[in-house]
Amino acid sequence: MPAEDSRYEAVRSRDARFDGVFFFAVETTGIYCRPSCPAVPPRRHNVRFFATAAAAQGAGFRACRRCRPDAVPGSPDWNVRADVVGRAMRLIGDGVVDREGVAGLATRLGYSARQVQRQLTAELGAGPVALARAQRAHTARVLLQTTGMPVTEIAFASGFASVRQFNDTIRAVYAATPSALRATAPGGTRPAHQGTGTSAGIPLRLAHRGPYQAGPVFDLLRREAVAGIEEVTGPPGRRVYRRTLRLPYGTGIVAVGERTGAPRNRTGGWLDARLHLTDPRDLTTAAQRLRRLFDLDADPYAVDARLGADPRLAPLVTARPGLRAPGAADPAELAVRALAGRAEAERLVQAYGKTLDAPCGTLTHLFPEPGALAEAEPRSTPGALAAALADGTVRLDPGADRDDAEQALLAVPGIDLRTAAEIRARALGDPDVAPPGTDTPDSWRPWRTYAVHHLRTADAARAPGADGSAGTRLP
């Protein structure tokens, strides 16, 4: 098949652009890899291709220990697509199957469990249970190799229902026992095995494909930072972004560092992160929310190729290859902040935000829950939005239908077209949003959100004194 021949050429050339887009397996070794695996490329007739790691695992292949295919960026398709498969993959990434089961996933999507199973299996080669299982295995590997948590605690923290299920999965995916996998921690940084081992936080490398313009992202986060829940410290090139998170099982304080030199890395790289979680079961969800905030699963090659062909944008793309469109770590929080503005958001945090049991420096609070804010200020504009978020009238979770969410937002008093567009771009991660009144030709589709960020970043560079106090609005 021509498509598979093209994929094989990507494997032969070890093309990192396709890491996470597909996986290949070698029948003679029983191993599956990412396209950029440094091993000698196998012969074409021994290779099989899979859309997901779960599909490769389901076919009996185990993960390559050399290229670690479970650590690749996610497929950019799941951010772009608005259909049921794309929405389902975003929800699975957020841990919904582990928390609510396939029935809960189906309910959120508005389909029957059988329909969801059929569509995912037909397109991706694996159903929701298998996809969630692959994700749990990756979480378990991270905890085994970066913390000193006992193996039995890791089993349940990763989302497994039993230690036996955990052991069987690790053996099937990695061809090793959990203890043996822990002993292969890279870099000789094997953790001590006593205690929980998480007091220093869980270190992660958040992978991205292609070049990554970290500077503009950290500039934006610094301008937007809401005191009490966020901060950006350090000089340009070595900044650290820290924030608090409300998570399904507990709370967290996360930190992500800016990597000097990352923008010119044409093949990919990572951002260093450290997660302090009150409950390690939140690891997968917290990591996925950081990925959405920093837009790490984007395809900069496709974005730059389309936008770079436009004479107006070409100089901007050349100057900033791989520019990202930051999303949101907490969609409901982002929506309230977009409506209220930064100063009002800081007031809401101090008035109604929950104080952390263990504050860390300037990070002292969680952003107010929608229900608490709606009850405290029922007559305010942010209170009206919070009420709609609390009762489900407005849904902004990763599986929300973007068109339905925008219409529901516009029905909330005080939300205009511009604010709704901003929330759609940031909270829902829509890559193709054009704020009203912005000149965005159809030739920029489906990447108009990125085009707008190029224009805004160029404007910010010409006005470095801007403090972003107007909130998070797109231009």
pLDDT tens sequence for the chain (475 residues) = 458 889 999 999 999 989 999 999 999 999 999 999 999 999 999 999 999 999 999 999 999 989 999 989 989 888 888 899 999 999 999 999 999 999 999 999 999 999 999 999 999 999 999 999 999 999 999 999 988 889 999 999 999 989 999 999 999 999 999 999 999 876 544 554 444 445 678 999 999 999 999 999 999 999 999 999 999 999 999 999 999 999 999 999 999 999 755 444 566 899 999 999 999 999 999 999 999 999 999 999 999 999 999 999 999 999 999 999 999 999 999 999 999 999 999 999 999 999 999 999 999 999 999 999 999 999 999 999 999 999 999 999 999 999 999 999 999 999 999 999 999 999 999 999 999 988 889 999 999 999 999 999 999 888 755 444 333 344 3
Domain(s) of CATH 3.40.10.10: residues in the chain: 2-71
Name the CATH architecture for the domain at 77-146+148-188: Orthogonal Bundle (1.10)
Where do the CATH 1.10.10.60 domains begin and end in the chain? 77-146+148-188
Specify the CATH number of the domain 2-71. 3.40.10.10
Q: Give the C-alpha distances (Å, rounded to integers) separating 368 from 131, 245, 352.
A: 33, 11, 6
Neighbours of 14 (CB within 10 A): 17
Query: Is the separation of the CB atoms in 50 and 364 below 8 Å?
Result: no
**Contact indicator for 108, 96 with CB cutoff of 8 Å:** yes
- Degrees to nearest 5, angle at CA 311 with 309 and 313: 80
Closest CA to 190 of 147, 155, 156, 150: 147
What CATH number should be reported for the domain whose range is 202-462? 3.30.310.20
Determine if the peptide bond prior to 41 is cis (ω within 30°): no
**Looking at this protein, which amino acid is placed at residue 327?**
G
279 with 297: CB under 8 angstroms? no
DSSP-based three-state secondary structure for 277: strand
Nearest to residue 324, comparing CAs of 222, 424, 217?
217
Supply the pTM of this predicted model.
0.91
**What confidence tens digit (pLDDT) does each residue in 163-186 have?**
999 999 999 999 999 999 999 876
Instruction: Count other C-beta atoms under 10 Å from residue 269's C-beta.
Output: 22
Among 124, 120, 125, 98, smallest CA distance to 109 is for 120
| Rounded Cα gap, residues 409 and 387, in angstroms | 12
**Sheet bearing 47-50, strands edge to edge:** 47-50, 23-26, 31-33, 62-63
CATH 3.30.310.20 domain residues, the chain: 202-462
